[in-house]
Structure 1
Amino acid sequence: MATGETGFDDVTYDLISVQYHSLKAGHDYGQYVRDARNAGKEDIASFFEEVMAQDSERAKKCHEFLKSLGGIDKTQPQQQT
């Protein structure tokens, strides 16, 4: 595997990038859900919740791939209730 300027191979860097952006977007979507609910647009709020759940799953999948690449991981994504 090629190693970029970061010291991480390209695949690891790419997974970390996708994971970061998925988690960041998921955080932002919480505000979008609130905005839609405040506007009385429950259908749009539901759409944002679906998108947020998809990003959460995407971040979890990246986490699994990163562990499989040999990283030592003692953390687990928190389960949403």
Structure 2
Amino acid sequence: MATGETGFDDVSFDLISVQYHSLKAGHDYGQYVRDAKNAGRDDIASFFEKIMAEDSARAKQCHEFLAQLSGSSESGPALT
């Protein structure tokens, strides 16, 4: 796999990007849940909790893929 300016192969970089954005979104959704609950909108709070759980699962899957790539010749010099 080709490595870019970062030293990471494209797939590893993409996984790291998705993981970061999923974790960041999950952090933000916590505030959205509180806002919805404070507004008395438990239905909307439940929606935010659902997407927060989905992003958490997405971040976990990225972590597992990155662990598989870590140290492999596919990962590029930044992960080997």
TM range (shorter): 0.7 to 0.9
Q: Which of 1 and 2 has higher RCO (CA within 8 Å, sep 6+)? A: 2
Q: Normalized against structure 2, the TM-score is what?
A: 0.87
Q: Normalized against structure 1, the TM-score is what?
A: 0.85
What are structure 2's unaligned runs of at least 5 residues?
72-80
Equivalent position of 1:44 in the other structure: 44
Task: Give identity over the alignment, percent.
Answer: 82
**Which ranges of 4 or more aligned residues in structure 1 deviate by more than 2 Å?**
none
The superposition leaves residues 5-62 of structure 1 with CA deviations (integer Å, 9 ceiling, x where unpaired) of: 1010000000000000000000000000000000000000000000000000000000
Structure-to-structure mapping, 1:56-67, within 5 angstroms? 56-67=56-67
What are structure 1's unaligned runs of at least 5 residues?
72-81
Structure-to-structure mapping, 1:1-81, within 5 angstroms? 1-71=1-71
CA distance in 2, matches of 1:49, 1:61: 18
Bigger Rg over Cα: 2
